[in-house]
Structure 1
């Protein structure tokens, strides 16, 4: 009998896994739900398991992979930054992810955050709630069509956001060493070097995966290249943006605002970026729609079934991929 351990995380749906695995796996499958959240809990809960379906809060470390005898780790997300993919390969463990399940949702959320910041919606809402009724608290606001919007990384989510922004008439530029200029041009986007992007962009959206190369890449120097009316959007991972530098830029007035779906520590405890009138923060919810959650669980279950049946899973992560 195969044993599958699911993280007791709200976005992971045990019923979808049971339904799929009962129908698709050639051998009986025992499914358990466990509170994970740490290497120690993972090792304890997954002892004897063939598969683990994990969440963003559980580090799947070399220590855990060495201690367990897993066949597959399913990361219920697009990113795999909390999984040691190299150690998994060394242990013969397949790692899978769901690269496309929420492309439209995150793109739409990022555009919503950009417009909320650009149009000063947080400040206006606070102003009206306090009894005000004036346009001045939102200053400065400039036309979207007169703006240049920059994308830090230009994968599928940023590409979808570019399609959504096309109708606003803004100029679009992107930095991504793994995407050719010709491919960007298909979306009406001009390729730029990293520093050039921050020199040219009026507003910036961050879409980069968290890797050793991208950690803290949006730093004080990058933020210092922006204009005082700039809005910085982050829908990737919190540590891609240097939050201390971002806070300094906001407090000094060197940028107008930030719109964030991700933070360094989640959930936050006394994070100074939360609760400001120049910052919109959502709770790492850009991925969410009912359809996306269903797709996420069905694709993860299908990957578990494939590995247990000795077949290649659709969401396999290549341990030699350049972006890891």
Structure 2
């Protein structure tokens, strides 16, 4: 049996063990480290599948030059770097990983919120510059009892809300696709 050619445009992890475990028996994985489609195209022109992290944009022109490609799979939530209409017209399936880095992004969001609210970066620079003084950063506000507003209430925002609630913050959200009565919050 001939193995399918799967081109991995770019990746940021140390090993391809997971990819090889899942695809190794049926596919030849061609790992690259390029984000410019013109740079990965020479390897991708005869691929059956394209795995993509940050490379792009993957346009109608690029897809037209990959006649054997049946699927483009993103290692992330967004597919904004892929021309979905062109993929549909070319009969190419586009997939993503809707749970990719939800916890990490929620944690980072809360870290940024705390950094801004407590002026951590400002005071870090002040102290590293040899000054120790509270007044330059005033006013500062208590986190507990404050309100955090979330635009959208998908997976990441819900995780941010859980973490913020654990700090006794009030949660507001706006999302036209989520009915308030459908939310079953346990926090």
**TM-score, normalized by the shorter chain, greater than 0.5:** yes
Q: How many residue pairs align between the two structures?
A: 184
Distance (Å, rounded) in 2 between the aligned partners of 1:171 and 1:188: 14
Distance (Å, rounded) in 1 between the aligned partners of 2:152 and 2:50: 30
Q: Gaps (5+ residues) in structure 2?
A: none
Q: 1:5 aligns with which of 4, 7, 12?
A: 7
Q: Is 2:22 the partner of 1:20?
A: yes
1:46-88 deviation line (CA, Å, top 9, x unaligned): 0110011112242111111122121111111111110112211
Distance (Å, rounded) in 1 between the aligned partners of 2:15 and 2:52: 12
Distance (Å, rounded) in 2 between the aligned partners of 1:179 and 1:12: 38
Alignment of 1:31-180 (within 5 A): 31-68=29-66, 69-180=68-179
Alpha-carbon deviation of 1:188? Answer: 8.0
Q: Is the partner of 2:121 in helix, strand or coil?
A: helix
List structure 1 segments (4+ residues) > 6 angstroms apart after TM superposition: none
Q: Is the partner of 1:70 in helix, strand or coil?
A: coil
Give yes or no for contact 1:73–1:95 (8 Å, CA) kept in 2: yes
Could you say what the CA RMSD is over the residues aligned between the two structures, in angstroms? 2.0
Compare CA radii of gyration and give the structure with the larger one: 2
Match of 1:195 in 2: none
Alpha-carbon deviation of 1:155? Answer: 0.5
Distance of aligned partners of 1:81 and 1:151 in 2 relative to their CA distance in 1, 3 Å threshold: same
Alignment of 1:191-202 (within 5 A): none
Give yes or no for contact 1:36–1:58 (8 Å, CA) kept in 2: no
Distance (Å, rounded) in 2 between the aligned partners of 1:155 and 1:167: 19
TM-score after normalising by structure 2: 0.89
Give yes or no for contact 1:162–1:172 (8 Å, CA) kept in 2: yes
Give yes or no for contact 2:10–2:54 (8 Å, CA) kept in 1: no
Distance (Å, rounded) in 2 between the aligned partners of 1:103 and 1:34: 26
Alpha-carbon deviation of 1:6? Answer: 0.8
Alpha-carbon deviation of 1:11? Answer: 3.5
Match of 1:228 in 2: none
Which stretch of structure 1 is more off in the superposition, 108-117 or 12-21?
12-21
Alpha-carbon deviation of 1:13? Answer: 4.0
Give the number of the structure with larger relative contact order, counting CA–CA contacts within 8 Å between residues 6 or more apart.
Answer: 1
TM-score after normalising by structure 1: 0.53
Alpha-carbon deviation of 1:98? Answer: 1.0
Alpha-carbon deviation of 1:18? Answer: 1.7
